[in-house]
Amino acid sequence: MSHESPSLVPASAGSVSVIGLGQMGSALAEAFLAAGRTTTVWNRTPAKADALVERGAVRADSIADAVAAGDAVVVCVLDYAAVRELLDPVVGVLAGRTLVNLTSGSPEQARESAAWAAGHGFSYLDGAVMTTPPGIGRPSSMILCSGSPAAFAEHREALAALGDPVDLGEDAGLAALYDTGLLGLMWSVFAGWLHAAALVGVDGVPAGAFTPLAIRWLTTVGGFMETYAPQLDACRYPGDDATVAVQLAAVDHLLEASRARGVDTRLPELHRDMMAKTVASGHGQDSYARVIEQFRGA
């Protein structure tokens, strides 16, 4: 089935245009199509739209046509500079529409983009897709959104085709801020798991046997995080569970076991150094949450 692009026709309510058809952009477009949304697609390389057109998408002949066809215009390209390069020439067509920017960037870039949108008379939502392309469309996949509350309310149902839309509020920079923080958490968890798998693997424990217990343990760790979060906000760290001093002694066991097995010790050494500095500053009897002050530079 082939769909031709009408030139600059008024967008129908609930229609979506997707600009940028890399792996993620294509997955976004496929999810909108699966949800029954009228979906117009555009990419610098037109052939990237072929498979989507076969599934029922409308191919836009130009980026202006793509913008005009969508009640919501979803852009997912390399970076924010590419967003501006593509959309500045057609910024007048965006007036009265909502731009949903799912391009990765910094909080500062997101806030600048929101100001740019406001200056040109269109609504702006910045977003972060907290999954890889195969996870698009799963209800468990978070789609972080920040920016215009009215735009989020208007397009929430459409965004739900991609996953679970999470509204972070009016500050357009919050989606990117949460994104960077959550990715840092992911990499830290991955690093800890890989180090642990290497450690037990030396003694012949397969990663497949160790990992179910690691996942179970992360549920417990999540409970600790919920306990510590109010302490972080209040900057008060009562040591009514395992104190920093107790955990500093425990990390030495991890270092000893790592050295004995020839496993890289840089990660546990970082943990030890942060704890040791906390103890040296006179806070060894506080909860582990006190270590945040090392990251804060206090």
pLDDT at 10: 54
C-alpha 133/C-alpha 154 separation (Å) is: 25
Tokens of 267: 């990660």
Chain position carrying tokens 């392309």: 133
C-alpha 64/C-alpha 86 separation (Å) is: 10
pLDDT at 8: 43
pLDDT at 1: 37
Tokens of 38: 């009228």
- Per DSSP bridges, beta strands 16-19 and 58-59 are unpaired
pLDDT, one tens digit per residue, over 30-61 is 999 999 999 999 999 999 999 999 999 999 99
Per-residue pLDDT of the chain (298 residues; tens, 9 = 90+): 334 443 444 567 789 999 999 999 999 999 999 999 999 999 999 999 999 999 999 999 999 999 999 999 999 999 999 999 999 999 999 999 999 999 999 999 999 999 999 999 999 999 999 999 999 999 999 999 999 999 999 999 999 999 999 999 999 999 999 999 999 999 999 999 999 999 999 999 999 999 999 999 999 999 999 999 999 999 999 999 889 999 999 999 999 999 999 999 999 999 999 999 999 999 999 999 999 999 998 5
Which domains can be identified in the chain, with CATH numbers?
16-169 (3.40.50.720), 206-296 (1.10.1040.10)
CA-based nearest residue to 52, from 10, 98, 12, 5: 5
133 touches 27 (CB < 8 A):
yes
Chain position carrying tokens 């409308």: 58
How many CB atoms within 10 Å of residue 296? 9
pLDDT at 13: 76
pLDDT, one tens digit per residue, over 152-200 is 999 999 999 999 999 999 999 999 999 999 999 999 999 999 999 999 9
pLDDT at 12: 73
Tokens of 243: 């104190």
How many CB atoms within 10 Å of residue 201? 14
Tokens of 103: 């391009």
SS3 state of residue 178: helix
pLDDT at 3: 44
Q: Return the beta strands (E) in 16-82 as ranges.
A: 16-19, 39-42, 58-59, 72-75
pTM reported for the whole predicted model = 0.93
C-alpha 298/C-alpha 282 separation (Å) is: 13
C-alpha 22/C-alpha 40 separation (Å) is: 15
C-alpha 3/C-alpha 58 separation (Å) is: 5
Q: Looking at the DSSP assignment, which residues form a beta bridge with residue 127? A: 145
pLDDT at 199: 98
